[in-house]
Structure 1
Amino acid sequence: MSDILIVDDERDIRALISDILKDEGYTTRLAGNSDECMEQISAEPPAMMILDIWLKDSQMDGIDILKSVKRDNPEIPIIIISGHGNIEIAVAAIKQGAYDFIEKPFNIDQLLVVIGRAMETSRLRRENTQLKKREVNAAEMIGASPGFRAMVSQLDKVTKSNGRVMFNGPSGSGKEIAARYVHANSLRAEAPFVVVSCAQIEADRMEEVLFGRESPERGIEPGLLEQADGGVIYFDEVADMPIGTQSKILRVLVDQQFLRVGGAEKVRVDLRVLSSTSRDLEQEILGGRFREELFHRLNVVPVFVPSLSERRDDIPVLADHFIDVLNATQGLPRRRLSEEAAALMQTMVWPGNVRQLRNMIERILILGDGTGEIDVREVPSEDDRNTDGEGRVVLSGSLAMLPLREAREAFEREYLLTQINRFGGNISKTAQFVGMERSALHRKLKSLNVVTMTRAGGRIARIEDEMDESTTAAE
């Protein structure tokens, strides 16, 4: 959301600011007096406002509008502008909740910097508000595969403690959902759950966003740590936190107190800290990009969140869950997967994990005809690239160049790997599906150098020569 409402009684000023912002990719709405301003806000609150103090032929001046908006929509950041500015007006505006004060004629670069920061503040406030509204559903753990249930069992052991937990797993696998599950079932469930998106916050803004700031002119602006007091602070993708900020966060973990930017008095907080990463933090430490002391402070209880490929049994139930959610939140049709569509999804590669599955379901519901089961032909698949217009299989260049025996072995190996992983490493189910005796399947796997291994409580198949022998476990 980048919608900015510009309120000024001078048409030329409104047009100038609007043109500048449109060039920067923002959308704008304009109001020339207080009545137009309040009508615009009633119709749809903007992401941010630029508001002139003096408005000719208006029932309310800028300060009156500021008070009204902050009373009913406190999350909207408001930048005050005035051609008759002085320090008293600026202080009065800030005390009433204005984000900043800029005097006309303004410097365009300065205006854009302030607007960028205000929009970031607006985004963070909206995200936290939306996340609080979705907290119950967001903490719901969907799945019954062995690896997934093993993870949930581990989470249940840490919910009632105050210990720090670090979630490690690939992007899109559901690390934040796991963190919310811990919070929702903890003794702090009624307290705030505040997300710090380390990868999305600009490095030079990180400390101000975390610790807040204070000044004689602007007063006190609490940061995310202060907003989370009594509850949980969740560092999403903590490896993206600037190295300088890491040192200060380490001190917060030790002392449970900090200084706001520009402040002189320490602020005490009571926090439970959860964090997540999709990177190998030990490698980040070796590369000098992450502090080893902070890693040990955060990694008290490590929890691995399995990828979707390691919990393929859960794909049909996850798909049904996303269909219900999208029906409730977006009004998309409530359909169900056919058995063939579910089977195809279980054999696919999911680099984006659960997030990718949700996006695919949303795409199918939007583009589909809205009736009946979801047919296998509606499922986007990389297999589509390997068929011609008549549905015949088109061999890849590498496979087409192999002798028949080697090509058959390569196909059989890939096919059986796909089926074993589809059934979560269950050899009996795989044998039944492919039409082989269990013992015959074992012999075939051995001849193809395919082995199964345990990970996150479930089993997955790999090619033996791609693995360290110490980690393999032949079925």
Structure 2
Amino acid sequence: MNDILIVDDERDIRELISDILQDEGYATRMAANSDDCMSHINSEPPGLMILDIWLKDSQMDGIDILKTVKRDNPDIPIIIISGHGNIEIAVAAIKQGAYDFIEKPFNIDQLLVVIRRAMETSRLRRENSALKKREVQSAEMIGGSPGYRTMIAQLDKVTKSNGRVMFTGPSGAGKEIAARYVHSNSQRADGPFVVVSCAQIDPDRMEEVLFGRENGERGVEPGLLEQAHGGVIYFDEVADMPLGTQSKILRVLVDQQFLRVGGADKVRVDLRVISSTGRDLEAEIDAGRFREELYHRLNVVPVAVPSLSERREDIPLLAEHFLEMLHAGQGLPRRQLSEEAAALMQTMTWPGNVRQLRNVIERILILGDSNEVIEVREVPGEEERRDDSEGRVVLSGSLATLPLREAREVFEREYLLTQINRFGGNISKTAQFVGMERSALHRKLKSLNVVTSARAGGRVAQLDDDGEEDTAATASVAG
């Protein structure tokens, strides 16, 4: 989309404009009528069009082409030229979306100035469109587990207000994605979304980065707060913000204004503040590392982002999303998970949460087989789980030393713990997968002293440490 399409029924005019533009370094294409013009646009949209109003032997005149192109390709700037120019035609063309109108015979220098401006407009529109698409993708919420749906319902309420939001949850769980979701679905969606990575900024430079500075030689250097004006400022891992900066941010939240470093005039800003932390801020307050008043200012709407282990049902869906995203964005092979590989991933531990899952998927696509389907053997860290070369299951040392009855009980307990957690504590789904009646599964769980407990919107299976009390808990969960 970097070339220029010249549409004019006069061959001499087409070739003259084309020669001039090629001398200036532009690539050009030419069309003599509306059919040729639309054929060029449909095959490869140009970066800019120079379009004559009057076209002989054409089904469409210039205004008709202008309407069609702006409807289907609104980002293409169109310069209208005409030898019968009058104010009515110019106004009609501009109303239909033309970038500018130039009357024949035109001044070459004037035409080149307009073309340069229009091409710059085209480039900026494409870049802006690409950024918007990336933001929408980065704000896409993937998941259908009960706990995750509950969180999204909270976020949908939050988007309707301008209140401050505090996201809590482990590293890699998707706190920034949730923050971007709030931004992209709010009234500030057209404004900036500026990230302050509190853990990565040198504490000695934190205030300069946030507030900007005024320097006699370099002039004004806006900070991140100023850049976020009209949109959202997102404090990632806010617990890592230095205490001195915390007090100044507190004043910004109260006054919506601040001084640049080295400046004398106050800068007013209109911001929505969203923050996140993976730490216990109340413990940080008790330890004197975080200001209690700032905590209460930021924590107007607290939202907990569940870890991946609390939403295992979402792992296949997330994996498929990353497979498609990495194919489209990085050109990695288009592949899909086998049911066995997806089931295995649901049983694995994920200390790095969603970020770790994405990295595992990327590693599989880069280093894995060329087959269309991803098999269990390709899942990283699965080597110790594989069968040996003769097809026998390799037992762990502890299990191999037990009598058959005890070994069976240990296996059944671990197997059912894994399956219940895999299905987010859903007894019905677990029973269906393992091939048992629901009531029989309840009896088996009770005999193995396995109970389920509510946690973060889902249920987690665990061992019963004191039979009588936890047996009652099993019954209440199973009911």
Q: TM-score, normalised by structure 2?
A: 0.68
Cα distance in 2 for partners of 1:171, 1:244 equals 25
Partner of 2:477: 474
TM superposition shift of 1:394: 4.1
Amino acid at match of 1:349: T
Cα distance in 2 for partners of 1:286, 1:390 equals 59
What residue ranges of structure 1 are gaps of 5+ in the alignment?
1-127
Partner of 1:176: 176
TM superposition shift of 1:405: 4.9
Given that 1:132 and 1:193 are in contact with CA atoms closer than 8 Å, whether structure 2 keeps it comes out as: no
Between 1:245-254 and 1:385-394, the stretch displaced more is 385-394
Between 1:433-442 and 1:385-394, the stretch displaced more is 385-394
1:74-473 to structure 2, matched below 5 A, reads: 134-382=134-382, 384=384, 388=388, 390=390, 392-400=392-400, 405-465=405-465
Distance of aligned partners of 1:404 and 1:249 in 2 relative to their CA distance in 1, 3 Å threshold: farther
Amino acid at match of 1:275: S
Distance of aligned partners of 1:300 and 1:401 in 2 relative to their CA distance in 1, 3 Å threshold: farther
TM superposition shift of 1:396: 4.0
Cα distance in 1 for partners of 2:182, 2:375 equals 37
Cα distance in 1 for partners of 2:445, 2:312 equals 20
TM superposition shift of 1:371: 3.1
Matched residue of 2:221: which SS? Answer: strand
Cα distance in 2 for partners of 1:410, 1:286 equals 43
Distance of aligned partners of 1:288 and 1:313 in 2 relative to their CA distance in 1, 3 Å threshold: same
Percent of aligned positions that are identical:
80
Cα distance in 2 for partners of 1:367, 1:207 equals 43
Given that 2:377 and 2:386 are in contact with CA atoms closer than 8 Å, whether structure 1 keeps it comes out as: no
Amino acid at match of 1:202: D
TM superposition shift of 1:366: 0.9
> Higher Cα Rg: structure 1 or 2?
2
Cα distance in 1 for partners of 2:206, 2:182 equals 26
Given that 2:451 and 2:473 are in contact with CA atoms closer than 8 Å, whether structure 1 keeps it comes out as: no
TM superposition shift of 1:206: 0.8
Amino acid at match of 1:156: D
Cα distance in 1 for partners of 2:200, 2:347 equals 33
**Which string of whole-angstrom CA distances, capped at 9 and with x for unpartnered residues, describes residues 254-277 of structure 1?**
111111111122111111000111
Distance of aligned partners of 1:340 and 1:159 in 2 relative to their CA distance in 1, 3 Å threshold: same
Count of matched residue positions in the alignment of Structure 1 and Structure 2: 348
Given that 2:449 and 2:463 are in contact with CA atoms closer than 8 Å, whether structure 1 keeps it comes out as: yes
TM superposition shift of 1:302: 0.7
Between 1:314-323 and 1:443-452, the stretch displaced more is 443-452
**Which string of whole-angstrom CA distances, capped at 9 and with x for unpartnered residues, describes residues 185-238 of structure 1?**
000000000000111111111111111111212211010001001100001111
Matched residue of 2:337: which SS? Answer: coil
Distance of aligned partners of 1:385 and 1:317 in 2 relative to their CA distance in 1, 3 Å threshold: closer
Amino acid at match of 1:200: Q
Between 1:378-387 and 1:440-449, the stretch displaced more is 378-387
Given that 1:213 and 1:263 are in contact with CA atoms closer than 8 Å, whether structure 2 keeps it comes out as: yes
Distance of aligned partners of 1:243 and 1:394 in 2 relative to their CA distance in 1, 3 Å threshold: farther
Amino acid at match of 1:233: I
Amino acid at match of 1:434: V
Matched residue of 1:195: which SS? Answer: strand
Cα distance in 1 for partners of 2:194, 2:184 equals 13
Distance of aligned partners of 1:235 and 1:401 in 2 relative to their CA distance in 1, 3 Å threshold: farther
Amino acid at match of 2:190: E
Given that 1:386 and 1:395 are in contact with CA atoms closer than 8 Å, whether structure 2 keeps it comes out as: no
Partner of 1:3: none
TM superposition shift of 1:406: 4.7
**Which string of whole-angstrom CA distances, capped at 9 and with x for unpartnered residues, describes residues 378-422 of structure 1?**
112346267655454444455456565554433322221110011
Given that 1:167 and 1:305 are in contact with CA atoms closer than 8 Å, whether structure 2 keeps it comes out as: yes
CA RMSD after TM alignment: 2.7
Amino acid at match of 1:310: E
Distance of aligned partners of 1:416 and 1:229 in 2 relative to their CA distance in 1, 3 Å threshold: same
Matched residue of 1:173: which SS? Answer: coil
Between 1:286-295 and 1:375-384, the stretch displaced more is 375-384
Given that 1:150 and 1:456 are in contact with CA atoms closer than 8 Å, whether structure 2 keeps it comes out as: no
Amino acid at match of 2:135: E
What residue ranges of structure 2 are gaps of 5+ in the alignment?
1-127
Given that 2:194 and 2:228 are in contact with CA atoms closer than 8 Å, whether structure 1 keeps it comes out as: yes
Distance of aligned partners of 1:218 and 1:368 in 2 relative to their CA distance in 1, 3 Å threshold: same
Given that 1:281 and 1:295 are in contact with CA atoms closer than 8 Å, whether structure 2 keeps it comes out as: yes
Distance of aligned partners of 1:462 and 1:361 in 2 relative to their CA distance in 1, 3 Å threshold: same
Amino acid at match of 2:477: A
Amino acid at match of 2:374: I
Given that 2:334 and 2:372 are in contact with CA atoms closer than 8 Å, whether structure 1 keeps it comes out as: no
Amino acid at match of 2:220: I
Matched residue of 2:460: which SS? Answer: strand
Matched residue of 2:374: which SS? Answer: coil
Partner of 2:86: none
Cα distance in 2 for partners of 1:132, 1:195 equals 16
Amino acid at match of 2:417: L
Cα distance in 2 for partners of 1:130, 1:384 equals 43
Matched residue of 1:134: which SS? Answer: helix
Cα distance in 2 for partners of 1:186, 1:413 equals 47
TM superposition shift of 1:445: 1.7
Cα distance in 1 for partners of 2:164, 2:301 equals 6
TM superposition shift of 1:453: 2.2
Cα distance in 1 for partners of 2:172, 2:323 equals 18
Cα distance in 1 for partners of 2:180, 2:431 equals 38
Cα distance in 1 for partners of 2:172, 2:462 equals 22
Partner of 1:93: none
TM superposition shift of 1:170: 1.1
Matched residue of 2:477: which SS? Answer: coil
Cα distance in 1 for partners of 2:317, 2:219 equals 50
Cα distance in 2 for partners of 1:170, 1:359 equals 17
Partner of 1:14: none
